[in-house]
Every structure is written in C-alpha cells, then in structure tokens.
Chain A
Amino acid sequence: MAEEIISATNLISLLIQAQEEALELIKSGSKSSEELRLLILGAKSDIARLTKQIRLVSKEERQKVGPVVTQVKRSIEEALGQLPTRNVSKEWIDVTMSGIRPPQGHLHIVSQAIIEITRIFERIGFTRVRHPEVDWDWYAFESLNMPANHPARDEWETFFIESSLSFRPLSRNPSSRKTRIPGRAQDDNQHIVLTPHTSNGQVREMEKKNLPIRMINIAKCYRRQSDVSHVPMFHQFEGLYIDRSVSIGHLKGVLDYFVKQFFGPQRKSRIRPFHFQFTEPSFEVDITCGVCLGKGCKLCKSGWLELGGAGMVHPEVLKNGGIDPEKYSGFAFGWGIERTYMMKAGTQLDDIRLLYSNDIRFLEQF
C-alpha cells in the first residue's frame, strides 16, 4: 500500500461516517452483541482500518484525530452495552401444558375485609385497637347513655352471660368493682354481655388517657338473630376520633374518604338524621348505589343504599370516659364488616349466612 499523506479533516469525516453506520447496525438488532463487536471493532473492521491511518496524517494534525477516535469507540461501546443479552439458544416448549401452581390457600373474606379496612384507616392516622368481645354491661350500654331498661336497648338483641358460682354479676363489692369500672354507679348489678356492637370500645379507649384519639376497633359482635341478613356472630369496625373542635364536616370527610377507598372513587356518601343514645347529633350513612351511581335504579330505588350509623360523640359518653366535653368533641361510626363487604359491587353475596357456612366450596372462591 502506497504511503501517502491524508488530511485530518478527511479522516475525521470517514470515522464519523463509520460510527454512524455502526450505530445504525447496532440499532437494527439483527445480530447479537458478540457478533456486532467483532464486525464493528474487530481487527478487520472499518474503524480498525481507519485508526491505523492516523499515522498517515501529518504530525501537526494528528492530535486532532486522536480524541475523535476515542469518542467514536466510546459511543459504539455504549450502544453495544445497552443491547439486551440474548439467549444463546431457545428450547421448544409445549405451551399448552398445565402449569404447576404454588400452594394456594384462602383467607376468609372477613379477614380480607379487616386487612383492607385497617390499611385504609391507617393511611389517615387511625390505628387498629382491640377491646373485649365479652364485656361488662357498663361498657356495652350504660356508659353509652343507655341505662338499664332504656327503650333504646331494644334495638340490640343482646346475649347475656348466666351468673353462676364461678361468676356472679358484680354487686356488693365496691372495692373490686371500682378498680374495674371507674365512674359507674355503686349500687346495681353488673351483667356480662356478649357485645352487640363494637361501641364498648369507645369508653375503654378514652380511659387510656391518650388524646387525641384516632382509633379503629374491629371485633366479633353477637346478636340474637339469624336470617338472610343476620347471623348470631358477626364483625364490626368502629371508628372513634376525639380532638379539639371536631366538626360534622370532619366526619363527612372521613366517610367520603373511606367510601371512595373501599367501594371505588366514583361512589359518594351522605349522612341523614338518625338517633342513637350515645351520639348527638346522630346520623345514618348512605352510599350511592354501585349499579346506578345515585341516579336510582330497580335495585336501589332511590339511588342510595344504607351503610350504617355514625354520630358526634355524646357529651355524657365523653364524661364517662373521663374527657371534658367542654374541651373535646369527637365522632364515631360503627358498621358490620360482613354487610359492608357484601355491598361492594360485584360480590353478588345475597345471604350473610353463607359467610359462616364454613363450606370449602364457598371459602375457596375468595
């Protein structure tokens, strides 16, 4: 090969051209990275040939070419480095074979709902707590502004625990009772009840003396009922928020938040007047029907479905929990887990007793 002097500009443009061609080739994806490396940077490649020609450039101009060579090689290496590594060889697979599954157990849908509800409230600072399921009448009724024989008690079909030799209703022993049940009257008997609602957790939570309160109490509840929409044992979740200047708007905010998280962002909630002895004002909470979203349809009639009860904590209940109602206020709500879950659009559960049938053909569907 004749030794001739070539210009730096010429060589640089040849190098740039070779780089463009190389990058194009890499991008086309037609070859594996090993093949490409050999083709583009190998001893017989254009770039190797052009690199050798540096010595044909005049000494004065050589330093212009050097950095270009480095730059070209680097950009090619980078492009090669970004190529996915390919399987060297592919094996034929019968894709119509059945798969081998990992073991698949099932959580009861009540447990699933409890986990979901707990997570939803955790995100706005409500912590799940636990209070007794079998409790003194004081916490289940009296401290909630429902003294013995109050007509409001009729709304709960309550199970009572029988007195016996090993268990007597608390009575003429004020010293032992005082420590257990602060604030309750001294002179009458205390029965043990199976809690018909989770509201027994309200005064118990207040007694922890840890304000403000943002709690979710989830527990088993019991009522003397059994039909398509009632089972003698079920679960409730109870929200309680106590702070200074708690408003009805805050309750609405929390209800809206829950409804959108649990039922879906397009669902809405509303509150209507109701009555409970332990809240004032008291509300019934409705959500828009999952089918018509509030317009009204054959299923829901009015566009709204009843979800459950709520209200602003009654000053008497705050007092019973040792909280000054002049300084603090709060709201509470408590609903059945099963019922709330069944109202999720698409579950198509129409008989609550199915949930407690313990039939694996039911349990394994969830």
Chain B
Amino acid sequence: MNILVPDSWLREYLKTKATPSQIKEYLSLCGPSVERITKDRVYEIEITSNRPDSMSIFGVAREAAAILPRFGIPAKLALQGVSLKGKESHQRKLKLTVKTDSKLNPRWTSVVFDDVNVGVSPKWLSEWLELSGIRSINNVIDVTNFLMRAFGQPAHVFDYDTISGHSMKLRASKKREKITTLDGKTHTLPGDDIVIEDGSGKLIDLCGIMGGKNSSVTDKTTRVILFLQTYDPSHIRKTSMMVSHRTEAASLFEKGLDTESIMPVFLKGVSMMQELTGGKIASAVTDMYPSPYKSNIVSVNLSKIVSYIGDITEAEIKKILEPLGFTVKKDLHVVVPSFRRDVTLDVDIIEEIARIYGYHNITSTLPKGELPMTIQNPMLFWEEETKIRLRDWGYTELLTYSMISEEQMDTFVLDKSKAYKISNPLSNEWLYMRPSLLPSVLSAVKQNLNIREDLKLFELSFVYELRQNDLPLEKPMLIVVWTGKKYPEAKGLAEALFDVFGIPFPEAIKEYGSIEILAGEITVLYLDFSRLVANAKPIKTYKPIPKYPPIVEDLAFVVPEQFEVGPLIALLKKAHPLVFHVSLLDVHGSMRTFHIEYQNSKKNLTNEYVTPIREKLIRLAEEKFGVTIKNP
C-alpha cells in the first residue's frame, strides 16, 4: 500500500536536519521504499502489507528516526503525549450503553461530546489532509481522518442523537442483514460480519469497513460519539472482500492493529475534538479491553545472525534494535514492541538487524558449498535442441496463449467436458486451458496471412489433458505450419527431426502425430513431443566406412495410376543383401526413376556380379507391382 506523507507533517514527529532527498534515499535502503517526492514536498511511500505500524506518518517517522543516524544524520522521534486531566471535569450527563464481544473486538474506546460545532477545519488541517490524499469534509470527520493518517488507527464518529436508546451492541451479523453505508451504498451482508446495532436493533455500523448512513455526523449534529477500536483481522478481511468494499480503514484493520496504541491516539482525538469543534466531554470514557497485551519475547542465536549477515557484536545488535522499539535482554532475548506483531520468529529479528545494519554493508560472494548431483531433464534438452534446429532450418517460433475461447473449442470440436476451465476468466478469449495447439496457432497464421502469403511457423508448447480428479497432464506438443500444400516439406521435416532424435522414421506417422492439409491451404505437422523424447536415441552407432566403391545405377519404371512408391522402395531394399540404398530420383509423368546403390564391404563389385541382382529387382517389381521397366 502506498501512502502520501507531507514533509511538514512528518517533521511534526521527526526532529532532523536531513533533507527530503536524504530521507528518500536512506529510508529506501533500510526501510519502506520512498517511490518519489512530489513538487509539494510529499513523499509517496510504499508500505508492505506486514507493516501496519508503518502505514502512518508517525510510523514512517519512527522508521526514519532509527535509520537516519546510521548514516550519520541525527534524528529523534518527537511526540508529546496527551492526558485528559483537567479536561474531563465536564458533567457526565449523556449516557451510552455499550455491549461488545472481545473476540471480535479486542478493545473498544468511546466518549460522547456535547456542544459540537460542525464546521470547516482550520487551514493547517485541511491542507495536510489534502496533501496526503484525503478530502477535507468538516472539522469532526477531519479529526478522524487525521488520526488515521497520523497514527494508522482508523476512528469513527456517530451522531449520538440518531442512536436509539443510546445503546450500542457489537455482534456478528446474520446472513442477509442489510446496511446502508455512509457512501449511500446498500450492502446485503454475507453473515458473520462485525456490525453494531442500536437500541432498536437497526444496524448503524459495518465495523472496520464503513459507518452506517443512518448514524452519520451531519451539519446539524451537535452531540458526537468518538469511537476507536480494534477488530479481529480475518473478519474484516472476509467482509471487505465479500462486499467488495476496500476502504483504507479496512485495509488497516485486516492487517491487525495494535491494541496498546489505541488509548494514546484516542486521547489525541479527544483533545482535537475539544480544540477544533468546541465539543465538551459529556460522558464517561468507555475503555473495554478485557485481555491486555502481553509482550512477546523472541530469542535469537548470535551464530545464526552471523551466518546470515556476517560478523556483528551483541552491542551493535542492541544499538540497532532499540531505536525500533525492541528491548534486548541478556543472551539476545528480544522483547517485541506491541506495534510489531509481525515479528514472531528469530528470522524476523534477523531481518530487522540486517536491514538497519544495511544490506549494502553485507559482502557479496558466490556460494562456496558443495555442488548438487543433478541429472539434466532430457525434455528440456530436446526442447532447446529442436527449437534451435527449426530456427536454423528457416522456421519462426510462435508463442501463443495457453488459454482459448469457448468458440475455438467448438470450432475445433474439442471436448469441453475434458478441458480445464478458468472459473474467473479475465476475458472470454481466455477461458479454457487448451487441449490442442491448433486453434491458437491457426489463428496466428490467419492473422499473418494479411502480411505475407508464404509462412513457415512453429510452436512447442504444452496442451492440458484431463486426469480425473487431478492436475492436468502438461503434455508438450510440436506444431509446424506451412501456408499452401506442402506435403513433401512437412514429411521431409518430420524425417529430418526423427533423424535428430535417432528414431527410424515410422511407416505410420500416426504413432507420433499427423501431417494434414487443412482447408486445402494450410499444411500442418503435429507431433507428440513427449513421445519423441521418450524414444530418442541420440547416440549414433558407428558403421565401418566401406573400403570399396559402390556400383550406382538408375532404374526407370512406368507405373500405373495413383501409384505409391513407398512399398516398392521397401521391397527393392530388402530384395538382396548387396542392395545398400534405394531412393526415388525423379518423377516424370507415369515414369518413376529410382537410384540404386550396390555395395559389398568385402570386395570390389563388378558389373557382371551386379547384373543378376538387377534382373531380380526388375522381375520382383514387375511381378508384384505391375510396373514395366523403361530402360533395358
């Protein structure tokens, strides 16, 4: 959460000669990050969610007072306490009955004022509030916002006269109870929200989130209840999420506020009400706090601190921790201040020491420990290898989103009951975890067709296959697409890839995937990449280099219509042990020319020796495939 801290307001609690840019630099290095300083000298500071104690001007001042002296700049925290003595003498004529639940509301403080004049705030107050991003409304509301911004403790005011029976009862809400908040919105409550009802049973406050409209302070109000409290954080969190009402107060309460800080802030509020609104205390002060805070002690081991940050002494540790409010006892038993409930473990203390000591003062060094014994994941090796090969063969890689739309699922006839569907999609375009790469890749092709007609693209990504009652199987698939009818290219690429993996090209590519020409204009090679990896045999077996030259010749056959050469080549290859290589050399009309190599590893072949083999090849081809030899 970012808060706006006017420099002049900060210096109300922080006595230092540090310049704003020094404050920005040193706070950022050792404490909350100061994102920028505006031209009005307002710091924009990011406070992390674990530090509600710093989400205020005073909280930032406390950090600065601990940090600046580390950089040689004196700084002191200044806050004059307020007491009620001498101001409480007014008659206690106005009664307020309070009932609460200490589990939901660990501490309740309230008091009633009479003779309040609702009006404009003094200039200093409205200016500070406006600079820190809060709209000035009137002197009464501004006091509550002042307390929240100055000390990080939200406060609330009710119009005493709107509360039936002058009675307040804090309780958990029932399901479907309704309340209209200050901003005019009516919320139907989910149940188990912290609320306050008045004597007539009507809800007057959605606690920790926003006050009820029916009990709000208006221009006509003269009697005011000032009300400061803490709540069980998880209740506030739940309600604020359920009713989608993320007020600043809620974001403070849901992080857990310090019960011990309530009274000093309350007293400050009382004194401001008296000074700024003319209000007079008209009731007893109610302070319901049945289980007071017990301080927490965390023990840290010096050797553990040293292992995290390097050499440091106990004396230095004490000097670092005490300005932050910690008390360091013997043997590093550290008493945690009430406002630091985020500190519960030794490593939390180590963080405090290390950041104030200065991360910039810790020596940077590469780890020297033992190297782990690891084996590379073959899938990762092959993915990289394949992508690089494809790139070098002239293909360009796509990276499309893993999510596809319902329309895409339907168009490609993909089974929606077997797909993982996003329950809170950002857009209808991204609804299902894709069970196929086709829809997204084809849409990328379509989009690029306007730019160029000739495309060669690929993607190697997961598809998500259903596993009953389990996480999806994240299955890597390789898709390569060509525009146009490119069957030979697709098959050739597949053959080259199988070669890379050391897998003999299968007679039926079906085992691994498919080559298809879609809509007569896009050729798609789609392969189950995990299967390729599972069957990969990257180690090549050495075959002795032939000592004698082969005899090479071409045989041309006239073939019938729709003739498939594959089976004929397979037959010729198997026809004789000396037939070493057979390939299709040329296609011309009904003529197919084959390139044949004969090889004997033991001796030089002569033409006479090869003649009977050739005759056998021709005979077999003519008998089994109905082809006719062209050249004698």
Give the top 9 A-B pairs by smallest Cβ distance, nearest first. A103-B394, A275-B48, A281-B351, A252-B364, A162-B423, A358-B444, A105-B391, A253-B366, A105-B395
Which residues, 51 to 99 on A, are CB-close (under 8 Å) to B? none
Contact A248 B380 (CB under 8 A): no
Contact B422 A161 (CB under 8 A): yes
Which residues, 379 to 422 on B, are CB-close (under 8 Å) to A? 379-380, 384, 387-388, 390-403, 417-418, 420-422
Contact of B377 among A128, A210, A220 (CB under 8 A): A128
How far apart are B593's CB and chain A's nearest CB, in angstroms?
A: 28
B-side contacts of A102, CB under 8 Å: 392
How far apart are A98's CB and chain B's nearest CB, in angstroms?
A: 18
A-side contacts of B30, CB under 8 Å: 273
Residue of B nearest to A268 (CB): B364
* Majority SS at the chain A contact face: mixed
Contact B468 A166 (CB under 8 A): yes
Contact B345 A315 (CB under 8 A): yes
Is A156 an interface position by the 8 A CB rule? no
Contact (A210, B421) CB under 8 Å given A247-B307, A358-B448, A363-B397: no
How far apart are B215's CB and chain A's nearest CB, in angstroms?
A: 28
Selected A-B contacts with CB under 8 Å, 12 pairs: A105-B456, A135-B471, A151-B254, A160-B423, A165-B417, A245-B369, A249-B362, A252-B363, A253-B366, A253-B367, A314-B347, A360-B396
Which residues, 353 to 387 on B, are CB-close (under 8 Å) to A? 354-355, 359-360, 362-367, 369-374, 376-377, 379-380, 384, 387
B-side contacts of A159, CB under 8 Å: 422-426
Contact A105 B393 (CB under 8 A): yes
Contact of B398 among A108, A155, A275, A280 (CB under 8 A): A108
Residue with the greatest number of chain B CB neighbours at <10 A, chosen from A136, A160, A164:
A164
A-side contacts of B447, CB under 8 Å: 358-359
How far apart are A235's CB and chain B's nearest CB, in angstroms?
A: 9
Is A339 an interface position by the 8 A CB rule? no
Q: How many residues of A contact B (CB 8 A)?
A: 94
A-side contacts of B395, CB under 8 Å: 105
Contact A152 B49 (CB under 8 A): yes
Complex Cα distance, B420 from A164, in Å, reads 9
How far apart are B461's CB and chain A's nearest CB, in angstroms?
A: 8
Complex Cα distance, B308 from A272, in Å, reads 15
A-side contacts of B398, CB under 8 Å: 108, 358, 363
Kindly supply a per-residue 1/0 record for chain A positions 281-319, scoring 1 wherever the CB is within 8 Å of any chain B CB and 0 otherwise. 111100000000000000001100000000010110000
Complex Cα distance, B456 from A166, in Å, reads 38
Stretch in A4-12, A35-43, A224-232, A344-352 with 4+ CB within 8 Å of B: A224-232
Residues of A within 8 A of B (CB): 102-108, 110-111, 115, 118, 124-125, 127-130, 132-136, 149, 151-152, 154-155, 159-168, 170, 176, 180, 192, 194, 210-214, 220, 222, 224-226, 232-233, 241, 243-250, 252-257, 270-275, 280-284, 301-302, 312, 314-315, 329, 355-356, 358-361, 363-364
B-side contacts of A214, CB under 8 Å: 367, 371-372, 374
How far apart are A340's CB and chain B's nearest CB, in angstroms?
A: 16
Contact (A232, B430) CB under 8 Å given A105-B395, A128-B380, A270-B359: yes
Complex Cα distance, B455 from A105, in Å, reads 11
Contact (A134, B367) CB under 8 Å given A105-B396, A108-B397, A233-B401: no
B-side contacts of A132, CB under 8 Å: 471, 474
Residue of B nearest to A173 (CB): B469
Complex Cα distance, B394 from A104, in Å, reads 4
B-side contacts of A154, CB under 8 Å: 49
Residue of B nearest to A106 (CB): B396
Complex Cα distance, B25 from A302, in Å, reads 9
Contact of B49 among A103, A129, A254, A275 (CB under 8 A): A275
Is B601 an interface position by the 8 A CB rule? no
Contact B51 A275 (CB under 8 A): yes
Is B161 an interface position by the 8 A CB rule? no
Contact B347 A249 (CB under 8 A): no
How far apart are A104's CB and chain B's nearest CB, in angstroms?
A: 6
How far apart are B260's CB and chain A's nearest CB, in angstroms?
A: 22
Residue with the greatest number of chain A CB neighbours at <10 A, chosen from B241, B366, B392, B447:
B366
Contact of A250 among B50, B366, B394, B424 (CB under 8 A): B366
Contact A115 B384 (CB under 8 A): yes
In which size bucket is the chain B interface?
35 or more
Is B614 an interface position by the 8 A CB rule? no
Is B310 an interface position by the 8 A CB rule? yes
Contact of B308 among A167, A170, A243, A248 (CB under 8 A): A248
Residue with the greatest number of chain A CB neighbours at <10 A, chosen from B31, B345, B372, B466:
B372
Contact A232 B423 (CB under 8 A): no
Contact A108 B399 (CB under 8 A): yes
Contact (A272, B359) CB under 8 Å given A107-B388, A226-B426: yes
Contact B426 A232 (CB under 8 A): yes
B-side contacts of A192, CB under 8 Å: 420, 471
How far apart are B251's CB and chain A's nearest CB, in angstroms?
A: 8
Contact (A232, B359) CB under 8 Å given A106-B391, A253-B367, A312-B347: no
B-side contacts of A108, CB under 8 Å: 397-399
B-side contacts of A281, CB under 8 Å: 308, 347, 350-351, 354-355
Contact (A124, B366) CB under 8 Å given A103-B392, A170-B469, A359-B447: yes
Is B176 an interface position by the 8 A CB rule? no
Contact B360 A243 (CB under 8 A): no
Residue of A nearest to B423 (CB): A162
B-side contacts of A224, CB under 8 Å: 424, 426
Complex Cα distance, B605 from A183, in Å, reads 73
Which residues, 11 to 44 on B, are CB-close (under 8 Å) to A? 25, 28-33, 36
How far apart are A255's CB and chain B's nearest CB, in angstroms?
A: 8
Which residues, 299 to 322 on B, are CB-close (under 8 Å) to A? 307-310
How far apart are A361's CB and chain B's nearest CB, in angstroms?
A: 6
Residue with the greatest number of chain B CB neighbours at <10 A, chosen from A210, A222, A361:
A222
B-side contacts of A111, CB under 8 Å: 387, 397, 399
Contact A254 B423 (CB under 8 A): no
B-side contacts of A248, CB under 8 Å: 308-309, 354, 359, 362
How far apart are A302's CB and chain B's nearest CB, in angstroms?
A: 8
Is B472 an interface position by the 8 A CB rule? yes
Complex Cα distance, B48 from A355, in Å, reads 31
Is B451 an interface position by the 8 A CB rule? yes
Contact of A273 among B31, B390, B462 (CB under 8 A): B31
Residue with the greatest number of chain A CB neighbours at <10 A, chosen from B364, B377, B455, B466:
B364
Complex Cα distance, B1 from A152, in Å, reads 11
Contact (A162, B380) CB under 8 Å given A314-B347, A360-B448: no
Complex Cα distance, B247 from A180, in Å, reads 39
How far apart are B516's CB and chain A's nearest CB, in angstroms?
A: 21
Complex Cα distance, B347 from A102, in Å, reads 57
Complex Cα distance, B388 from A134, in Å, reads 27
Is B123 an interface position by the 8 A CB rule? no
Is B255 an interface position by the 8 A CB rule? yes
Contact B372 A253 (CB under 8 A): no
Contact of A106 among B25, B234, B374, B397 (CB under 8 A): B397
How far apart are A239's CB and chain B's nearest CB, in angstroms?
A: 11
How far apart are A103's CB and chain B's nearest CB, in angstroms?
A: 3
Is B107 an interface position by the 8 A CB rule? no
Complex Cα distance, B395 from A325, in Å, reads 49
Complex Cα distance, B423 from A163, in Å, reads 8
Complex Cα distance, B423 from A61, in Å, reads 107
Is B348 an interface position by the 8 A CB rule? yes
Complex Cα distance, B362 from A312, in Å, reads 14
Contact A254 B366 (CB under 8 A): yes
Complex Cα distance, B6 from A337, in Å, reads 37
Is B237 an interface position by the 8 A CB rule? yes
B-side contacts of A165, CB under 8 Å: 417
Complex Cα distance, B362 from A252, in Å, reads 8
How far apart are B110's CB and chain A's nearest CB, in angstroms?
A: 27
How far apart are A80's CB and chain B's nearest CB, in angstroms?
A: 34
Contact (A244, B369) CB under 8 Å given A134-B471, A162-B422, A358-B399: yes
Complex Cα distance, B381 from A115, in Å, reads 10
